[in-house]
Structure 1
């Protein structure tokens, strides 16, 4: 009964609408990434994201826009950015958007690199690789949320990265999902149902002051 309560949805919930919100949010992430250029301040990128979302006709934002440059890519969601860094010629940044489309919550995030820093490119690629491996593990084994993050930690370490376990995924649904108080995916013992949970992966470089982030809907 506890697992069922944590995976409850509202009367408007439709899986196809969740997929639509997922697709629109990814479109917004990629549109913004194309507009982020060296010399831009982190706050300027965040303001440009508002422009992108308004151009696309969003319903509303359901969690604050997050754009992190450089060393701020090590920060977790609840931590404020350190200062207002300017994106360098060789640099790394990530975008994390939570947007409502058609009454359903989209949440997507990815890391991008400008310039030619091989370590930064490897870190960004690794976040997506670990996400894909964990998603495949969920799909093929039906592992519970806690087991998924245990697996993510193992895979990150095997690839030479540190997994930040201060973020461990969360619920989404028709807006607002927060009334269900489901907690983190990484603390959910049962197998997460499709279309309800966001898998978050945040990595840190083992020696250099930056990281990478990737998240998407398990569907």
Structure 2
């Protein structure tokens, strides 16, 4: 499939609707994070996520909801959580949501920390920092997807973290984007167009068993 086909959109696609879906998905992420407290089970947080989504009137979920606590923050999207951990007083968690709003796909994810573990806070901050640096690199250089992830790996290493290169971003569009089979952003040679690709950053602490995650629409 050539780069034009990999960046195709459906008949319903409108960039402003992608921005709307992005904003609504971030609203869910933020509302959910505010309601997750120490003592809660990972499964309870996932159930709470369904409640928040229904409160805000989603169209549907387009990929499984993920809420990861503690060591499960090292898991990739396709991996199951180990057990059903309880969030500790000093702990880390991330939320990853793919939700359809107004027939367009929102996808957002971020990491949050409860308590006072300085290394967990630094790890959460680093995922957003690397995302921001890669996003700015895309805007300033118009680098291709593969080059963006090469840059992300260099920046993560320089900051003292390990980048998980099994997670390399993906397409979004008017629902469903999957018909385009565009593959990972990190394998896309050309510059990704605005409003069509999710940049994902997943980091791991170099020695301790936790990580962090951040994703958003390149726009």
TM-score under structure 2 length normalisation: 1.00
SS of 2:17's equivalent in the other structure is: helix
SS of 1:37's equivalent in the other structure is: coil
Query: How much does 1:217 deviate?
Result: 0.1
Q: How far, CA to CA, are the matches of 1:208 and 1:64 in structure 2? A: 27
Query: How much does 1:198 deviate?
Result: 0.1
- Identify the residue that residue 20 of structure 1 maps to in structure 2: 20
- Identify the residue that residue 84 of structure 2 maps to in structure 1: 84
- Identify the residue that residue 149 of structure 1 maps to in structure 2: 149
- Identify the residue that residue 61 of structure 2 maps to in structure 1: 61
- Identify the residue that residue 168 of structure 2 maps to in structure 1: 168
Query: How much does 1:87 deviate?
Result: 0.1
Deviations 1:109-138 (A, max 9, x none): 000000000000000000000000000000
- Identify the residue that residue 205 of structure 2 maps to in structure 1: 205
CA RMSD, Structure 1 to Structure 2 (Å)? 0.5
Question: Structure 2 unaligned runs (5+)?
Answer: none
Q: How far, CA to CA, are the matches of 1:4 and 1:33 in structure 2? A: 37
Query: How much does 1:188 deviate?
Result: 0.1
Query: How much does 1:166 deviate?
Result: 0.4
Query: How much does 1:7 deviate?
Result: 0.2
Q: How far, CA to CA, are the matches of 1:115 and 1:82 in structure 2? A: 22
Query: How much does 1:76 deviate?
Result: 0.2
- Identify the residue that residue 133 of structure 1 maps to in structure 2: 133
Q: What does 1:104-115 align with in structure 2 at a 5 Å threshold?
A: 104-115=104-115
Residue 34 in 1 paired to residue 34 in 2?
yes
Deviations 1:124-179 (A, max 9, x none): 00000000000000000000000000000000000000000000000000000000
Figure out how many residues of one structure are paired with residues of the other and give that number.
219
TM-score under structure 1 length normalisation: 1.00
Q: How far, CA to CA, are the matches of 2:194 and 2:64 in structure 1? A: 24
Deviations 1:179-208 (A, max 9, x none): 000000000000000000000000000000
SS of 1:95's equivalent in the other structure is: strand
Q: How far, CA to CA, are the matches of 2:208 and 2:178 in structure 1? A: 36
Q: How far, CA to CA, are the matches of 2:124 and 2:6 in structure 1? A: 32
Query: How much does 1:50 deviate?
Result: 0.1
Question: Structure 1 unaligned runs (5+)?
Answer: none
Q: How far, CA to CA, are the matches of 2:110 and 2:2 in structure 1? A: 32
